[in-house]
C-alpha cells in the first residue's frame, strides 16, 4: 500500500475528484416513470400509466436533454445509455425511438456504446422489439422476477409465466444478443428447491447477464404495510443466506462470472452502465426523479411527472436538490460503491483520485474489518472477503458512518 502523505482528507478539493484535466466519459440514464401496475415491493419512482401525460413527458425529456447537452456534449463521450423506470415499454415505440434519436443527436456516442432498455413481460410485441433493435437499442433487461406462478402472484406482478417465455423469445427473434434477466429471491415461502428451479429456467434462456436481488421490505411500500400488520413474514436470515449461497454455486458453475454482489455475466457482458455507478463515474440523469453525478456534484430531479413537466417547460431544468460532496463523503461513497464489485477498489487509483493517503483516511476501519475477516487487501486492492460478501450491507456502511 502507498503510505505517502498527500493532502488532508478533510480538505475541500472539488468534491474529492481532482482528475479534471481530461473530462470523464458519461453514462446517460433516462427515467420513464409509468407502469401498468405498482408492485407491492416497489419503492421506485413509478406511477400508473397516464396516456394524456406521456407525450408531454417525452417532450420535456427532450428539452432537458438538449439543455444539458449544451454544456456537457462537446468534451465528454457517452459510453452507455440506460432507459429505466417504471416500465419504459409502456411508452409507444415511436416515442422510445425518438428518445434515442434525440440522445444521439445531442451527445457524442462511442462506437461501441451500450444502449439498454428495461422491459416487463406482456408490455411489448415482436414487431415493436424489432423496431427498437433497428433504432439502435442493443441490450434488453427483462423484469422476470420469478418463473413460478405462485411467486408472481405474491410479488404482485402483472404478467404470467407464459408471457415471460414469449417476451424473451421475441427479443431473441428481434436480434437482441445481449439479454439480461432480473430475478428476486427470499420471497416469503420460497424453498431452496423452488429458487433452484427459477435459476435453472433462467439459464435455459441462455442470458448474457443475470441480476438476482434479495427481496427487501422498503418503508411505505404495500409490502411494508402488510408486514407491519403481521400479514407478510420474510424468510429468516439463515434461509436467505442459503438461497444466496446456492445462487453463487449454480450460476458460477454455469459459466456466469459473479462480478458484483447481485450480478452475474458471461465474460465481456457485464452491465457497463451500472459499473459506471459502482466506480463512482460521471452520469447524467433525465426525467422525473433522475439523479446526476458530475465531478463531485450530485443533483436530483423532482419526482412527480406532472411537476417535472411543468418545471422543464418553465426553465428547462427540474432540479429538486443539489450538493457538492465534501472529500470525506466522496471518498466514503467511492468505497461504498466500489466494494460492491468483486474486484474491489484499487488503493493506488483511490489515492491518485483523492490525493490523500488511504491509510490515513480509512486505515483504522480497514484494520478492524480485517480482524473480523470481512475484507482483504491483495495486490493493493481492497475487497470484501467471502464472509464479508454475505454481510456486505453492514460492512460497506462502515465507510460512510
pLDDT tens for the chain, residues 1 to 401: 332 223 333 333 334 443 444 567 899 999 999 999 889 899 899 999 999 999 999 999 999 999 999 988 777 899 999 999 999 999 999 999 999 999 999 999 999 999 999 999 977 888 999 999 999 999 999 999 999 999 999 999 989 999 999 999 999 999 999 999 999 999 999 999 999 999 999 999 999 999 999 999 999 999 999 999 999 999 999 999 999 999 999 999 999 999 999 999 999 999 999 999 999 999 999 999 999 999 889 999 999 999 999 999 999 999 999 999 888 999 999 999 999 999 999 999 999 999 999 999 999 999 999 999 999 999 999 999 999 999 998 999 999 86
Among 262, 278, 294, the domain boundary falls at 278
Classify residue 186: in a domain, yes or no: yes
Which element (helix H / strand E) includes 320? strand 319-324
Pair (274, 351) in one structural domain: no
pLDDT of residue 74: 75
Q: Which three cell numbers stand for residue 82?
A: 440506460
Whether the CB-CB separation of 334 and 345 falls below 8 Å is answered with yes
- Which residues in 266-298 are b (16+ Cβ under 10 Å) and which e? beebbbbbbbbbbebbbbbbbbbbbbbbbebeb
- Give the C-alpha separation, 345 to 384, whole Å: 10
Pair (269, 354) in one structural domain: no
DSSP secondary structure code for residue 23 in this structure: P
Classify residue 211: in a domain, yes or no: yes
> CB atoms < 10 A from the CB of 20, how many?
10
Q: Which three cell numbers stand for residue 76?
A: 465528454
Whether the CB-CB separation of 287 and 61 falls below 8 Å is answered with yes
Pair (110, 240) in one structural domain: yes
Pair (75, 211) in one structural domain: yes
Among 218, 246, 278, the domain boundary falls at 278
Classify residue 309: in a domain, yes or no: no
Bridge partner list, 376: 383
Pair (124, 208) in one structural domain: yes
Pair (235, 380) in one structural domain: no
What is the radius of gyration, based on Cα positions, of the chain?
A: 21
- Give the C-alpha separation, 317 to 205, whole Å: 41
Number of domains in the chain: 2
Classify residue 136: in a domain, yes or no: yes
pLDDT of residue 76: 87
- Give the C-alpha separation, 345 to 336, whole Å: 10
In sequence order, what are the residues at sequence separation of 6 or more whose Cβ sits closer than 8 angstroms to the Cβ of residue 78?
25, 26, 27, 28, 103, 107, 108, 109, 110, 113
pLDDT of residue 130: 96
Classify residue 9: in a domain, yes or no: no
DSSP secondary structure code for residue 197 in this structure: H
Pair (269, 370) in one structural domain: no
Cα Dmax for the chain: 60
Q: Of how many residues is the chain composed?
A: 401
User: What percent helix, strand, coil does the chain show, rounded to 5?
Assistant: 45, 20, 35
Bridge partner list, 304: none
Pair (166, 244) in one structural domain: yes
Classify residue 13: in a domain, yes or no: no
Q: What own/partner pairs with CB < 8 Å and gap ≥ 24 does 223-226 have?
A: 223/40, 223/41, 226/40
353 burial via Cβ count (<10 Å: 0-12, 13-18, 19+): middle
Question: 122: domain CATH number?
Answer: 3.20.20.70
Classify residue 70: in a domain, yes or no: yes
Pair (117, 208) in one structural domain: yes
Among 278, 304, 325, the domain boundary falls at 278
Pair (255, 352) in one structural domain: no
Which element (helix H / strand E) includes 398? none
- Give the C-alpha separation, 374 to 361, whole Å: 18
pLDDT of residue 23: 64
Classify residue 86: in a domain, yes or no: yes
Pair (29, 165) in one structural domain: yes
Pair (87, 208) in one structural domain: yes
Domain enclosing residue 261, as ranges: 24-278
pLDDT of residue 370: 96
Strands 263-265 and 209-214: antiparallel
Amino acid at each position: 500500500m502507498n503510505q505517502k502523505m498527500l493532502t488532508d482528507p478533510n480538505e475541500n478539493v472539488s468534491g474529492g475528484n481532482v482528475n479534471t484535466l481530461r473530462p470523464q466519459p458519461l453514462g446517460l440514464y433516462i427515467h420513464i416513470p409509468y407502469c401498468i401496475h405498482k408492485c407491492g415491493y416497489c419503492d421506485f419512482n413509478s406511477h400508473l400509466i397516464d396516456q394524456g401525460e406521456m407525450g408531454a413527458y417525452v417532450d420535456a425529456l427532450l428539452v432537458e436533454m438538449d439543455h444539458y447537452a449544451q454544456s456537457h456534449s462537446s468534451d465528454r463521450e457517452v459510453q452507455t445509455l440506460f432507459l429505466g423506470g417504471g416500465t419504459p415499454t409502456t411508452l409507444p415505440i415511436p416515442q422510445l425511438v425518438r428518445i434515442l434519436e434525440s440522445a444521439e443527436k445531442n451527445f457524442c456516442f462511442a462506437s461501441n456504446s451500450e444502449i439498454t432498455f428495461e422491459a416487463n413481460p406482456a408490455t411489448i410485441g415482436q414487431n415493436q422489439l424489432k423496431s427498437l433493435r433497428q433504432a439502435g437499442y442493443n441490450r434488453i433487461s427483462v423484469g422476470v422476477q420469478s418463473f413460478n406462478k405462485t411467486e408472481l402472484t405474491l410479488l404482485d406482478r402483472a404478467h404470467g409465466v407464459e408471457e415471460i417465455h414469449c417476451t424473451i423469445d421475441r427479443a431473441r427473434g428481434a436480434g437482441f444478443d445481449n439479454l439480461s434477466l432480473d430475478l428476486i429471491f427470499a420471497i416469503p415461502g420460497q424453498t431452496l428447491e423452488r429458487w433452484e428451479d427459477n435459476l435453472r429456467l433462467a439459464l435455459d434462456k441462455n442470458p448474457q447477464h443475470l441480476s438476482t436481488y434479495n427481496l427487501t421490505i422498503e418503508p411505505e411500500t404495500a409490502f411494508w404495510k402488510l408486514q407491519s400488520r403481521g400479514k407478510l413474514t420474510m424468510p429468516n436470515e439463515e434461509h436467505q443466506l442459503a438461497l444466496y449461497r446456492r445462487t453463487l454455486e449454480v450460476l458460477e458453475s454455469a459459466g456466469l462470472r459473479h462480478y458484483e454482489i447481485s450480478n452475474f455475466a458471461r465474460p465481456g457482458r457485464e452491465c457497463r452502465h451500472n459499473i459506471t455507478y459502482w466506480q463512482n463515474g460521471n452520469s447524467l440523469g433525465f426525467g422525473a426523479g433522475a439523479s446526476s453525478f458530475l465531478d463531485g456534484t450530485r443533483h436530483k430531479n423532482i419526482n412527480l411527472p406532472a411537476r417535472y413537466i411543468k418545471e422543464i417547460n418553465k426553465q428547462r431544468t427540474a432540479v429538486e436538490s443539489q450538493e457538492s460532496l465534501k472529500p470525506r463523503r466522496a471518498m466514503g461513497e467511492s468505497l461504498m460503491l466500489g466494494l460492491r464489485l468483486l474486484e474491489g477498489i484499487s488503493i493506488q487509483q483511490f489515492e491518485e483520485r483523492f490525493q490523500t493517503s488511504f491509510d490515513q483516511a480509512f486505515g483504522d476501519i480497514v484494520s478492524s474489518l480485517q480482524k473480523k475477516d470481512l475484507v482483504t487487501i491483495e495486490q493493493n486492492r481492497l475487497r470484501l472477503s467471502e464472509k464479508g460478501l454475505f454481510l456486505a450491507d453492514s460492512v460497506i456502511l462502515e465507510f460512510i458512518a
